[in-house]
Structure 1
């Protein structure tokens, strides 16, 4: 099942001589339960594309179909769809350091429609934290946790609204190799529930563990032969390998 279908997405900033085209006529699709790695040099448009696909930024032109329906134009409707359909994982974790882990994890549920009771929010947070091995930290302050633990909190927050697609922008860039390996394993395990992962990364060891690689350069997708399953490229398997290695 196709969850996201982008056709000719473009994004420009400014006007006249100050006009900058960050993304030019990008077309791609994301299927249910697959992990897709988005790779390319810094400034090539990866983050812009993630923002367009995740409805956090409107496209200048082009069309985006989300779960079979055209993405809404009105921000109120986009916000509601964002909260119901997507989970977001940022490189900088985007954690509120002086708040509790539980409150950080339940942030997406505060905006859910229909409303979710406080008791239900806490139970969902407990389950999400248990999934990432952090149930013990429910009442801790986020500032008391290590970098890897804070990223696990961010994953739990991305999971708590039971998203169809998780958008991850360089989720391992600030982590050491061992912690990055664990975080990638957690992310890819979401496929077992049918969740799709769309992940921008510079690390070929991370891309190696995804099902599909999409290359980007200068606001465009790389040539067609750069988008293929990783088994076709010879980089690695299409599903979790036995063992924890990412390289």
Structure 2
């Protein structure tokens, strides 16, 4: 009898397979409702083997925070060496909106992540805090420095001052749009395509941050943003 697919996996791949199986179960049932028995069955392993890789259900749950994120690598790559500027702020907002709504990478993984974060917010919030601290908070400083550079360049309307809260609103609006899109039914009919909704959201947020329309028109090119994501998809495929 041939060995099962599970038995042929390396230890690292098996660990990832268990995490992949666990994500939708935790997303659907929450940390308390999910069981290691169900997770093991979904992963095609025994509970004993699951416990060889994860000391407890809580340890498995905690590690999901770093497992379900393809978007973080994309954002880090784009912004890691970017100099503070109006263009960096515009590109950063566009990338963050795309990363959160409609998402980058595997769609199911992205949706599972959002459900995990939302379930955490309805509970003790620890998973959500760890996730946002790791994957969104690093962007805040980049945006703040770029906003100041945009002010120095004359690209911000007079009298506009923003802080942490306003920059976090970029994430919050994109996150709300994604949550509304999670059900199979159309919850809100916006009357435009998803691509147009993303573009309108980016422009709305940039205006909300105080950027002048001329600066937005100069530095925001939806086709350029799509090309960036397309080139990364080719590199990782």
Q: TM-score if structure 2 supplies the norm length?
A: 0.27
**Higher Cα Rg, which structure:** 2
Question: Could you say which structure has the higher helix fraction?
Answer: 2
Q: TM-score if structure 1 supplies the norm length?
A: 0.26
Larger relative contact order (C-alpha < 8 A, sep ≥ 6)?
1
